[in-house]
Structure 1
Amino acid sequence: MLAITEMMIPVNPFSRPGIKLKARKGLVMHYTASRGAPAVNIAKYFAGLQFQHENDSDDDTYASAQYSVDRKSIYRVIPDYEMAYHCGSKTYTAEALNHLGSYPNNSTIGIEMCIEKDGSIHEETFQNAADLAAYLITTYAFPESEIWTHKGVVGWKDCPLPWVQKPSEYERFKKEVNARLHPVIAPSEYRIDVKYNGTALAEKGISRGTDSYTPLRAIAERSRTSVNWDPKLNKGILNSKVMDSSFVINGVGYAKSTEVAAALGLNVKWGGKDSAVGFDEIVHECNVVIGGKTVKGFIRQANSNSYVAVRDAGDAAGATVGWDQETLLSSLNGTALQTTFVYQEVGYAHTREVAAILGLNIKWDGATNTVKLTKE
């Protein structure tokens, strides 16, 4: 799958209300109706809606979708766990009401497919959208059968128009997604669980001969590192390192687990054949002092950065600590920590991010292997 380019819209009344999805019941496919416009233009359009004014005499537009897709790119402007304004209506089809609830915006993710100058959906755009749909279904456990068109939700809007005009394309799309969800692998290969710090990834790995292969995007998202696919090299890039062993099956990129472990600075264990692959962080303990109190901390070998246990840091600083099961992010004083990751069932975050939220300065004392967060 193509790398997802983030272009997050600030929370605003017109295109990002900042409301969490109440459920994840389906995907809704759209077309942009803007001939020749690439995905980045659609992302910019949704972002530009924030500059409207609710109290002036102009008519306001409320619109957005989490994703826009074209032949070469995928843009995300709203987090997967937040609602977008992509299928609002005064009326809905009976089937949509039955499957998606009374307000489908709050239970679905919207995907906008860009169209060519002749109004068609290019095959590359079609396949990229299928990759994205399969990824979202796998990642968030959407029901496989709940891939909708905008018209199927509201009944009156001919969107995506090319699929309304040729319904077989919609059926072909669903078959393409299904093929990605249930790939056919050789008899000598096995699907195996892949675990990161003891927790299984949403996407399974592959056992092939004497080697195991790990899904690149799934491990990258769990370890919060970068991943993309270089079309010139035809290789995956993980944590800025080329994965020489990488290959793609039905839109999912894989690489040898040993190569993945080396790129991320992780330990890896595999018992062979149909046993699970286990990745574990390599860390080096350090002291973190906040307000005179010493709390748990360590240096991640993966990036040589220091991390602190969020709950301990909050207790030491007198801050409120939270955890969002949807985003898998810890928070301090209501602010999400984007560098959160879980190690041995404890949530940690980068000391610099913790210091910034708490309004503290950060100092490193190499002699005592201590990170100090102070007001000085």
Structure 2
Amino acid sequence: MSLLRRPSSAAKPGPEESAVSAALGTVLDPEIRRPITELGMVGSLEVSATGAVLVQVLLTTSGCPLRDTLERDVTAAVSRVAGVRAVRVDLGVMDDEQRSRLRGVLRGPGGTAGERDVPFARPGSLTRVYCVASGKGGVGKSTLTVNLAVAMARDGLRVGLVDADVHGFSVPGMLGTTDRPVKIEDVVIPPVAHGVKVISMGMVVPDGQPVMHRGPLLHRALQQFLTEVHFGDLDVLLLDMPPGTGDVPISAAQLLPGSELLVVTTPQPAAAEVAHRSGGLAARTGQGVVGVVENMSWMPLPDGSRLEVFGSGGGAAVAERLSRDSGAPVPLLAQVPMDVAVREGGDAGMPVVLAAPDSPAALVLSDLARTLGRRARGLAGRPLGVVPV
């Protein structure tokens, strides 16, 4: 490949190699979201006095789906360096030794292939972990989770999303992604959709194939999502839980003891009764309940009135009962109205907080995302740095 431009005959100073290296340090791998220099992805760098720069970038896999993005970002960053007149990017592939070193960087100091701890359960973790739970299906829990994740990412937070509904996964479709995770030895790099790092069984199994897991296999699937997937440093991790109080919710409580439940219900008494049982799981697992969200609370009508399709009062009733059971206040955090734009956004893979940010439901969801995103992580299980005198 020829260089882009031949330098003019005018004597102009060539670029400093240190400046080019610094520019490369600003380029983030689009999947891992860390500088390519930090990840060992810059294989070689040649800087000529004439202003021509040749960069070899090593991909983690030969079929990297974002290779064009990476080449474009490297070219743009290096082109901005003073004295650079032409840039060429050669794409190569990491060998086994380089991939092994990358795995070590991702796992961090002391990380070994045998380790299977959950980073978000470590005492020093600052990540807020919310398990979005419901007693029954059909209350809009997955839609709520996806919109909260995207709204938080839009507001500048680092967000991860685990589709923990192993049998009934729906998150990839709602986010409009068909990307597959990338595996580097025993480390899995999750796809990014709308700024959210996401993992789901729907990204692993072939289309149309049912997941036939029971008991220990369900626990193992969730454990792999939490230990083998490299989310990096997150501000918030959301788990879209399956309905009920079975294997996966219990496993989540064991694997993430510092997590909190966000209980989703609809206004009708039958749904509220089941949602209360879902929230009651926290009392037996040691989790906290951050609050209750009442979904599909009413339908706004053209004349400005509200039609309460599913009745009223369910969310408040669940919050009151959970407060009484736990001895601590459990607030009703939000009442989300019914909105056609929510359904349309989910079907199109463009969550309503992005597709129709001024719609009634999107405004409520965005406010809820800000409320949850601003909460400080609790001190339970964290070292305080205090020693006896």
**What is the TM-score normalised by the length of structure 1?**
0.26
Judging by fraction of residues, say which structure has more helix: 2
Judging by fraction of residues, say which structure has more strand: 1
**What is the TM-score normalised by the length of structure 2?**
0.25
- Which is higher, the Rg of structure 1 or of structure 2? 2
